[in-house]
């Protein structure tokens, strides 16, 4: 038996997606502040400490502790709850913060727990606990790309996370190892063993351009990977914006831009 609210959903869009949540009377969905897009009449919006799950209901102190943990993952103290107070089904939609994919995760089918990158969570059925996951291994915390603290989603309801670019799921068998760029990890199930490994080799270290470490994920379990980490996208935009083009100030001037297809 599920203890979390059971919600239905539809995902729209390709590169810039949104998820529409259908709520029956008295059903509730929780979401990150700032992800709201639109909702039908008959829904009530409340700002709450933490995630509103049973894990954070131990009085005011318990709620403050639960909300405080969210600060460690880079999120705000508050979340927003949307409840259907009407007698009919109502819809509420949440938009992705940047180009990528929204991934639905049924925690009931995934063993009750998924660990994800710190800024991946978008929304979830009420009852899903949004907490923190400490990396117990020193090397993983220092060089794993996500630091010592990641988000964890616990419960038996639906949760939705967002990642950049295209997202693919890999299922690993017992003992099977997958080596990936540390920034490409979106989420993984609770039985996955996450560690980091030194790339090795003088040429790889000095000239490889892929960093000194990559992540190793050992099964059994499922792993979700993104093709475009937002940190990689941001660094490309910043480097392009701060880089002076070679033809600027030259005798070619704007003609150089026309020749390489950048004319406006």
pLDDT tens per residue, range 199-234: 654 544 554 445 567 888 999 999 999 998 877 777
Domains of the chain in start order, with CATH, are 8-165 (3.60.160.10)
Positions in the chain whose pLDDT score sits under 70: 54-76, 135-148, 199-212, 241-264
Helix, strand and coil in the chain, % to nearest 5: 20, 40, 40
Q: How far apart are CA 3 and CA 69, in angstroms?
A: 23
Q: Tell me what pLDDT residue 239 has.
A: 74
Tokens read off for 4: 């979390």
Q: Tell me what pLDDT residue 134 has.
A: 73
DSSP labels for 20-69?
EEEE-TT-EEEEETT-EEEE-TTEEEEEEETT--GGG-SHHHHHHHHHHH
Tokens read off for 200: 């090795």
**Cα–Cα distances in angstroms (integers) from residue 8 to residues 51, 103, 116, 224, in the given order:** 19, 14, 22, 22
Tokens read off for 210: 């892929």
- With H, G, I as helix, E, B as strand and everything else as coil, classify residue 19: strand
Q: How far apart are CA 185 and CA 134, in angstroms?
A: 16
């Amino acid at each position: 038996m599920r203890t979390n609210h059971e919600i239905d959903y539809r995902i729209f869009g390709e590169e810039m997606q949104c998820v529409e949540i259908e709520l029956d009377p008295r059903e509730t969905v929780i979401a990150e502040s700032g992800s709201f897009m639109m909702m039908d009449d008959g829904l009530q919006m409340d700002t709450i400490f933490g995630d509103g799950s049973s894990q954070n209901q131990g009085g005011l102190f318990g709620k403050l502790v639960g909300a405080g943990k969210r600060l460690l993952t880079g999120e705000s103290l508050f979340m927003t709850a949307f409840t259907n107070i009407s007698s009919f089904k109502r819809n509420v939609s949440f938009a992705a913060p940047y180009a990528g994919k929204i991934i639905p995760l049924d925690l009931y089918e995934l063993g009750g727990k998924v660990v994800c990158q710190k800024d991946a969570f978008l929304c979830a059925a009420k009852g899903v606990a949004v907490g923190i996951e400490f990396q117990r291994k020193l090397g993983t915390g220092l060089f794993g790309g996500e630091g010592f603290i990641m988000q964890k989603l616990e419960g038996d309801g639906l949760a939705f996370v967002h990642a950049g670019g295209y997202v693919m799921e890999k299922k690993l068998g017992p003992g099977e190892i997958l080596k990936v760029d540390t920034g490409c990890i979106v989420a993984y199930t609770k039985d996955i063993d996450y560690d980091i490994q030194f790339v090795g080799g003088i040429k790889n270290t000095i000239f490889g351009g892929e960093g000194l470490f990559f992540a190793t994920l050992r099964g059994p379990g499922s792993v979700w990977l993104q093709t475009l980490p937002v940190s990689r996208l941001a660094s490309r935009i910043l480097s392009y914006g701060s880089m002076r083009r070679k033809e600027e100030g030259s005798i070619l001037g704007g003609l150089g831009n026309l020749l390489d297809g950048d004319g406006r």
